[in-house]
Structure formats: C-alpha cells, structure tokens
Chains A and B, each alone.
Chain A
Amino acid sequence: MIKKVSRHIVQNEPLLFELSSPGKVGYQLPELDVPEVSAEKVLGAEHVRDDIEDFPEVSEFEVLRHFSRLSTWNYAIDLGLYPLGSCTMKYNPRVNELVARTEGLAWAHPYQPEELSQGCMEVIAALEQALAEITGMDAVTLQPAAGAHGEFTGILMIRALLETRGNPRKKILVPDSAHGTNPATATAIGYSVENIKSNDRGMVDLAVLERAVTEDVAGLMITNPNTVGVFEENIRKICGILHDKGALVYMDGANMNALVGVARPGDFGIDVMHLNLHKTFSTPHGGGGPGSGAVAVAKVLTPFLPSPRLKRVNDRWSWNYDLPQSIGRVRAFYGNYGVLVRALAYIMAHGGNGLRQATLDALLNANYLRKLLEPHYEIAYKAPSMHECVFSDDRQAKKGIRTGDIAKRLIDYGFHPYTVSFPLIVRGALMIEPTETEPKRELDLFADAMISIAKEIEENPELVRNAPHSTRTPRVDEVTAARKPIVRWKPESKASLSPAAD
C-alpha cells in the first residue's frame, strides 16, 4: 500500500512532545570515574525530584530543526510591511544592535561600583536629556519597563502631587477612543474612570469635557494624536479646562511617532506622559520585548519621580536616593538598559533634523495609503490623518464581510494584517499605520492587495469570508477557543494529533 505523503517542510510541525522517543538523548557522557553517591542519602529523599513525566526525549539535531522550521513561519518587519495600527512597527536599524553590544555596556553589571559605571550612567543621562527636549518636558525617568508601566508610574505621580495638596481626588477621565490600558491604569491606582464621548470629528468634545471636570477629577488621560489617527486640535483648551480645576493631564505617548521634531507635548500643556521607546524610538518590538516606557514630567511633578535619580557632582555621576517626595522605585535597577542604549543610538544617529524628517515621512506614508484606499474603503473621520489612517468596514459589511475577514484575506496576499476592530468608536475598524520606514513600492503592493480584496468582496465574498486559504492552518475557530479554551497540551491527545490521523 502506498502511504499518503504530504510536502516536506511546510507540513505542520509536530510538538517536541510528539517527536519524543523513549531513551533518546542529545549528549554522551564519559563513564563515571568517581564513587557513586546516592542523592537521597546526601540531600534527604524529600529534596530529590522525580523524573518529569513525558519530558521530551529528542536529539540535538531534531531540536535545532524543530525551532529552525518554526522560525521560518514568522512574519516580521524584516520580511515586509507590518501595518499594525497604533503599534508603530518600524524598522530597527542594525547599527543600534551594534551599539547595544558595545562590550562596556552589554557586560555592565548593575551592582558594579559607580566609579566603574560612569559611561553607563552617562548614557542614561544623555537619553533622559534628549527625551526631555523632544517632549518639551522638564525631566524623564527611564525606569518603567513598558508603556502601561509608564502610565502606572505617571498616574502614581499625579496622585502623589494631589495628596500633597490635601486631596488625591476620585476620578480619572478617559476619552472613549483611548487605549484599554488607560482605564486599567487608573483603576489599578484606585481611581474610578469616567468615559468622555468623542464628537463626530473623532475628537474630545469640549462641552462634554467641561461638564465632566469637577473638583473630584484628578486628571485626564489623553492620547494625541488619538487612536483614530487625528490630532486633538483643541489640546491647549483641553489642558486649560483641566488645569483650571486643579487637575492634571496625562498623555499616552503611543502615537508620538506623529509628533517628534514637530510638536512638543510640554508646549501644549501636558503635565506627564510616557514614551514607548520600542515604538517611536525604534527599539525591538513585537517579539515579546523588552520594551521601555520612559516617563517625562513637567516641573510640578519632578519631586515625585521614581528614585534614585542621577546627579552630577564634581564631574562624576552618582545616584541620589535622598528624594523625600519620590513615589519610590518602580522597577529593579535602572530600566531595560539595553533598550535605552538602542534608543539613544537611534536619536543620535538621526539628530534633530533627521527625527523631524522621520515624522514627516510617517505622515506622508499614512496619507498616501489613505488616498489610495479611500475610493474603496470608508474613511472613519474626514479630519486629516496623522501617522495612521482608520477606515470602517461599512461598505464591505453590506456584503456580509467584516474587518476581521479582510484581515484574514490579507494574509493570503502575504501581508501582516492591520489592527482589527480598534478603536471601538469606529464600527468595524481597519487601523493602518505604515510608519516612515516603508518604501513607496511596498506601500503600493499593500494598497493593491487591499483594493483587490475590496473587488473580491464585490464579486466573490465567499472567497474572503473563508480566508485564509494559503496558510498551514485554515481559519481557526476563535469563538470556541475563547469560550472553551484548552490551555495545556496533554499527552492523552497524542494519538489524535499524530500526522497519520488524516
């Protein structure tokens, strides 16, 4: 009988557990040449671990092949456009990697004495200064590990300041277009959250805001440009409304890629903000991190910055722990240091003019895509787009095709999907952010794919509804996966997963 054979390599890769054969090892040890010692006797039986059940037994080459094959399944910015809106998936210049591997930086130990760490401390100081200048703020902490951690740090400082004024207050206002992390942050710090509805241009409604700002409000968390990719043109007035009532304004810096070198949050009234170095400043992103959520503050909040702070005495850097009003440490050591080095390398390689040019190119790319796609997809708001453009699936929904279906079909065309169904204020959102590092050719290919999908929806919606067709796995059942999640693979299911089962 002829065995059914499928194409090698692209077939579904088994788990290491499924590759396992009893007794197989990837090493060879010499014979024992010292007297054998019983672990139970020396350590006590209760300290000796039993064998791990069903631990995979495979050879070195099998492990290597397994992971090499899996690695070829990745989609990465190094392979093509990664238009994931709000995520700023830009190219990470390789020179940053080279700089981060500088021996004295890469091998520095956080416990090494200050006199041996002067260079590392100088890097922190230089980056803090550069980010303060870029944001128009007075001081920067590099401790927070990523964006949401930066939000947490920022709101803690707001609370600390208001406490010194006698009342931490009760509420944080969050526009309905905000990232979900904003209300989560406010709640984690003990504030209640009040949503502020956007107007029909996708911006904060001043009249609604004015009514909401009472003596109970500690602050507003705003994203600018906001998540529909629109600049809050009333941002000065918005900050004024909050400040008049003794409240503060936090800016989520997720979309800072639209502002660097062009507009400074400190100049338009922001009191505290975070920067996603892993977005705007081109450090690795999307591979599980590490990220960095640097926080910049206006003068009024500087006494509350996390400790320790760098200080310069007699041409030497040292750490100052004598900060009575500080909210304390928010992270061990000094932040994700390797990421900080990459961000500084990026900033210094570009210089002020280069950073500004990158911003303008990001805006140009997003607006170029908007122009190409506008005849085929419904733009969510007419206001000018900044670094990303947001469409709704209104036209396609008439054929029963939603944003998630279009995203799956995009995979067949070889692109990573855009951000699906966010922000929530846009029905069936398609959120597209190309970033400045995409060449025109790549943008054209993406637009061609999107336009082709729009035509397929007109002519053959089933093709899109059932996409993707070119992947190893057909469309997965996300609903059942969410309702009845199986979070652990168990050996009992071995038989049902073996390749022969088809």
Chain B
Amino acid sequence: MSYPESYKYTKEHEWVHIEGDRATIGITDHAQHELGDIVFVDLPKPGSAVTKGQTFGSVESVKAVSDIYAPVSGEVTEANELLAKTPEQLNSDPHGAAWLIKVKLSPSNSETDSLMSAADYQNYVGAE
C-alpha cells in the first residue's frame, strides 16, 4: 500500500492530514501490518484535547494493545464511529475510511516541522 504524499508521518507510525486548521489522524499501513488483526479501537470523545507526542487512544490486536500518539495538538471534533463496530477496517483501509479522529488544530500549531514526508517515512520503515 502506498503512503499518500499529502499526509505527514510520525516515528510512532501515525499519519496526519492537515487541511487549514483541521486535521485528520490515523495509523499507517505499516502499523496495522505489524499489529496484525485489530479487534478493538479506543478513541477519545469529541471535545477532548489531544497534545502532540502524548497518547490519545489505543489499538488492540490479538497480539497486543498499542498506544496511539498525537502527531499534532488540538481539540477532537470527531472520532470515527465506524471502528467501534468494525475494527477490521483498520486492517483493510488504514489511510482512508479507517481514520481515527478529526481535530481542530491549536492556534499555535507550528509543530508539524518534525513530522516526516511520505518518502521519509517509507525510508524509515524500510530501515526499521
């Protein structure tokens, strides 16, 4: 699966798609592949705050429970309800329908510099 050029990526294998002051956050194809069959996704409620570098939820597979770290700071406007009933979507469409949360970015969000481009991320997971 290819990594969309318009997304930014973290070392913890999250992606973020920033459009103006809004962002959509998910986990990468590499992450879902490493986790294996995903059985449960725990996400924050709309209205709660997420902080860059801090955990905001977790993804549970048959092997393990993994924390998800926020690539940016902001306020959650929507959590993907689809994943409550069909967590397996995260295995099949991690960069699309199985996004995790949408956030309204904090005003002072100049924090995206440390994130990786699609090409850098591909190198990163290739080397890992």
Contacts and interface: CB of A to CB of B under 8 A. Distances in A.
A91 B60 CA distance: 34
B45 to A, nearest CB: 18
A421 B64 contact: yes
B127 interface: no
A171 to B, nearest CB: 12
B1 interface: no
B75 interface: no
B29 interface: no
Interface string B46-74: 00000000000000101111100000000
B40 interface: yes
B65 A482 contact: no
A180 B66 CA distance: 11
B78 interface: no
Nearest to B34: A427
B72 to A, nearest CB: 19
Nearest to A402: B36
B88 interface: yes
A483 B64 contact: no
A482 B41 CA distance: 12
Nearest to B128: A427
A180 B60 CA distance: 13
A485 to B, nearest CB: 9
B42 interface: no
Interface string A149-193: 000000000000000000000000000000010000000000000
B26 interface: no
A43 interface: no
A424 interface: yes
B64 A478 contact: no
B87 interface: yes
Contacts of A52: none
B62 A478 contact: yes
Contacts of A483: 39-40, 87-88
A479 B40 CA distance: 11
A482 B64 CA distance: 12
Interface residues of B, number: 12
Contacts, number: 23
Nearest to B55: A193
A482 B40 contact: yes
Contacts of B60: 482
Contacts of A482: 37, 39-40, 60, 62
A180 B62 CA distance: 15
Nearest to A422: B64
A500 B62 CA distance: 33
A196 to B, nearest CB: 14
Interface residues of A, number: 11
A420 B64 CA distance: 10
A421 B63 contact: yes
Contacts of A422: 64
A482 B60 CA distance: 10
A404 B37 CA distance: 13
Nearest to A420: B63
Contacts of A478: 37, 62
Nearest to B88: A483
B74 to A, nearest CB: 19
A478 B60 CA distance: 13
Most buried by B among A422, A478, A483: A483
A427 B64 CA distance: 12
Contacts of A427: 34
Interface in A411-426: 420-422, 424
A482 B34 CA distance: 18
Contact of B39 (A180, A404, A421, A479): A479
Nearest to A183: B67
A423 to B, nearest CB: 10
Nearest to A478: B62
Interface string B64-103: 1110000000000000000000011000000000000000
Interface string A368-405: 00000000000000000000000000000000000010
Nearest to B69: A195
A337 to B, nearest CB: 34
Nearest to B86: A483
Contact of A180 (B63, B65, B87, B88): B65
Contacts of B88: 483
A51 B64 CA distance: 43
Nearest to B64: A424
A156 B60 CA distance: 29
B34 A479 contact: no
Interface of A: 180, 404, 420-422, 424, 427, 478-479, 482-483
The 9 closest A-B pairs by CB, nearest first: A482-B39, A479-B37, A421-B63, A483-B39, A478-B62, A424-B64, A482-B62, A479-B62, A421-B64
23 contacts: A180-B65, A404-B63, A420-B63, A421-B63, A421-B64, A422-B64, A424-B64, A424-B66, A427-B34, A478-B37, A478-B62, A479-B37, A479-B39, A479-B62, A482-B37, A482-B39, A482-B40, A482-B60, A482-B62, A483-B39, A483-B40, A483-B87, A483-B88
Given A427-B34, A478-B62, 15 more contacts: A420-B63, A421-B63, A421-B64, A422-B64, A424-B64, A478-B37, A479-B37, A479-B39, A479-B62, A482-B37, A482-B39, A482-B62, A483-B39, A483-B87, A483-B88
